Structure 1
Amino acid sequence: MSGMEIASYLMVAVYVVSFLAMSAILAKEAGRPVWLFGKGKEKQTLPALLFRIAFTGAVLWPLWLAAFGNPMKGDPLTVALGEPWFDVLGHLLVVIGACVALLSQRYMGTSWRIGAAEGEQGAIVDSGPFAISRNPVFVGQALLFIGLFIVLPSLVQVILTLALLVAIRLQVGIEERVLAASLEKPYLAYKARVRRWLGISGDAGEAA
């Protein structure tokens, strides 16, 4: 692995550790558990599994590459994205994504939850990064994984990245339904004002 690849991998590892540590800190501040994947009426088994696969793979797959190399010789993605400047672009996305995700997670404070369940949601956070995106943590995570794929392109890494993106899309749909049912008008007003991924909408009917 090159220096840039090692730096990107270390950034991902630091993010995963920081995510878990901050979740524990925010749970202590809130005085309640923040892991809600196993609660509520909505089935969250599939997105929860995909998240675990994606993040576990993001930590373990680069170690496998460093120790044993890519078992798929002539991996077309590795060949196509093998230029050094791709490493620079990918590393930049990894750093930006990790920072956006961690800062947004911390900004949620005692409203931070992992998963969604009726009656378990905190107050709406609609300022800071949440004033321009309803899901800045997920946006940051997506950037991080896309960046890691660019730095370490392979069929395995693209599968891990797709697993994360599918998990995000499924989980966002679940959380939107739960929040609408639990918080009603305040959340619906926020949903009409701020787009799902990025941007502000002037159309009260905009939900994406």
Structure 2
Amino acid sequence: MSGMEVASYLLAIAYVAGFLILSGMLAKEAGRSVWLFGTGREKQTLPVLLFRLAFSGAVLWPLWLAAFGNPVMSDPLAAALDGPWFDWLGLLLVAVGAGVGLLSQRSMGASWRIGAAEGEQGAIVDSGPFAISRNPVFVGQGLLFIGLFIVLPSLVQGALTLALLVAIRLQVGIEERVLSASLGQPYLAYKARVRRWLGVAGEAA
């Protein structure tokens, strides 16, 4: 692995560690468990599976590459995205994604939850990153995985990135339904004001 690839991988590991540490800190701050997967009426089995696959792969796949190389002979993605400019772009996206994800998670404070269940959500957070995105943690994670794909291009990393993006889209749909039912008009007003991914005003999507 090149220096850029190693740096990107270490940033991804730092993000995963930071995510877990922050989740523990915010659970103490909230005085309750923040883990809501497996609770509530909404089935979250598929996004949970995809999240676990994506993050486990992000940790283990680069180690496999370093130890054994790419098992896919003549991987077309590895050839198409090879070069120092791609490495720099990938590293930048990983760094920005990790920073956005952790900053957004911390900004939620006692409202931080992993998953969604009716009646278990915290108060609406609409300041900081949440003033311009309803899902800045997921935006950060998406950027991080796209960056990893660019700096470590392969069919496997592409599949891991796709799994993460599909998981995010499925989970956002679930959380929007739960938040609308649990928080009512205040959330609907926030939803109308701030876009799902990035932006304010107009039609939120």
TM superposition score category, shorter chain reference: over 0.9
Q: Secondary structure at the match of 1:100?
A: helix
Moved over 4 A (4+): none
2:183 matches 1:183: yes
- Report the aligned-residue RMSD: 0.5
In structure 1, the residue matched to 2:60 is: 60
In structure 2, the residue matched to 1:38 is: 38
2:81 matches 1:75: no
Deviation sequence 1:70-100 (CA, Å, 0-9, x none): 0111100001111111000000000000000
Write out aligned runs for 1:87-102 (5 A): 87-102=87-102
Letter in 1 for 2:56: T
Q: Distance in 2 between matches of 1:126 and 1:76?
A: 43
Q: Secondary structure at the match of 2:108?
A: helix
Deviation sequence 1:18-61 (CA, Å, 0-9, x none): 10110011001100000101100000000000000000000000
Q: Distance in 2 between matches of 1:74 and 1:84?
A: 20
Letter in 1 for 2:111: S
Write out aligned runs for 1:148-187 (5 A): 148-187=148-187
Letter in 1 for 2:132: I
Letter in 2 for 1:41: R
2:163 matches 1:200: no
Q: Aligned pair count? A: 205
In structure 2, the residue matched to 1:126 is: 126
Give me the TM-score of the superposition, normalised by structure 1: 0.98
In structure 2, the residue matched to 1:13 is: 13
Give me the TM-score of the superposition, normalised by structure 2: 0.99
In the TM superposition, residue 207 of structure 1 has moved relative to its aligned partner by 3.6
Q: Distance in 2 between matches of 1:93 and 1:121?
A: 30
Letter in 2 for 1:56: S
Q: Distance in 1 between matches of 2:104 and 2:142?
A: 14
Letter in 1 for 2:15: Y
Q: Secondary structure at the match of 1:192?
A: helix
Q: Distance in 2 between matches of 1:56 and 1:194?
A: 32
2:32 matches 1:23: no
In the TM superposition, residue 120 of structure 1 has moved relative to its aligned partner by 0.3
Structure 1 regions of 5+ residues with no counterpart? Answer: none
Deviation sequence 1:160-203 (CA, Å, 0-9, x none): 0000000000000000000000000000000000000000023x
